[in-house]
Amino acid sequence: MPTSNGRVNRGPAAAAGNRRAILTAARRLFAARGYNVPMSAIAQEAGTGQGVLYRHFPTRLDLALAVFENHFDELTTIAQDDSPEAFGRLWSRLLDLVVEESAFIEMFMDARRSMPDYDGGHRLRVLVETTLPRAHEAGLVAERVSTADVLLAVRMAYGIVVTSEGDEDVRAVVATVLTLDA
């Protein structure tokens, strides 16, 4: 039955489309405005009501986990390459994610605080541990660089991003400061 604004409530038939719209809006707004963007802004951008958003994603963390899970899929695909260059591609993509979507790291921090069983940190560690030894053997990364060093460098990149001034080329600063070459 049409409502006063002319829209029809499609109920459950609209659920999949609403979910996709919410995820698309959240990805865009997390990247543009950070992890703490108001949930109401995400609902508005998606063209849904806040009730619809919360029905699909009861918390900001639930939404962020759904948005950023594809990043883990992408990083896993990179790490599955057996070549020595896989670490370089993994490292490059990690830095891109930190620079382009610092909300990805903020989601990590929130998940670690809120969900004791969250395994994102472990998953990331495994991806680095899988690729780094081949890069060491090929002389692409100095032997002294450890998995812990790489994970610390990701945190450092995040620090550069969140403390940068508007006119800085953040990507260039991160690349200069955090070079892991041999």
Centroid of chain to Cα 48: 23
Centroid of chain to Cα 81: 21
Model pLDDT, residue 47 = 93
pLDDT exceeds 60 at position 20: yes
Model pLDDT, residue 34 = 85
Model pLDDT, residue 8 = 43
Distance (Å, rounded) from C-alpha 159 to C-alpha 52? 34
pLDDT exceeds 80 at position 13: no
Distance (Å, rounded) from C-alpha 148 to C-alpha 90? 15
Higher pLDDT, 182 or 170: 170
Q: Place 116 in a pLDDT band, splitting at 50, 70 and 90.
A: confident
Model pLDDT, residue 167 = 60
Higher pLDDT, 161 or 3: 161
Mean pLDDT along residues 35-52: 93
Which of 3.30.360.10, 1.10.10.60, 3.30.230.10, 3.40.50.1980 would CATH assign to domain 8-58? Answer: 1.10.10.60
Nearest residue to 125 via CA among 157, 99, 94 = 94
Domain ranges of the chain: 8-58, 59-182
Residue range 68-94, pLDDT digits in tens: 888 889 999 999 999 999 999 999 898
Q: Which tokens sit at 28?
A: 């865009």
Q: Which tokens sit at 32?
A: 């543009």
Q: Place 179 in a pLDDT band, splitting at 50, 70 and 90.
A: low
Q: Place 14 in a pLDDT band, splitting at 50, 70 and 90.
A: low
Mean pLDDT along residues 50-62: 92
Q: Which tokens sit at 29?
A: 């707004």
Determine the straight-line distance between the first and last CA of the chain, rounded to whole angstroms.
67
Model pLDDT, residue 9 = 47
CA pseudo-torsion sign 141, 142, 146, 151: negative
Single pTM value for the model: 0.76
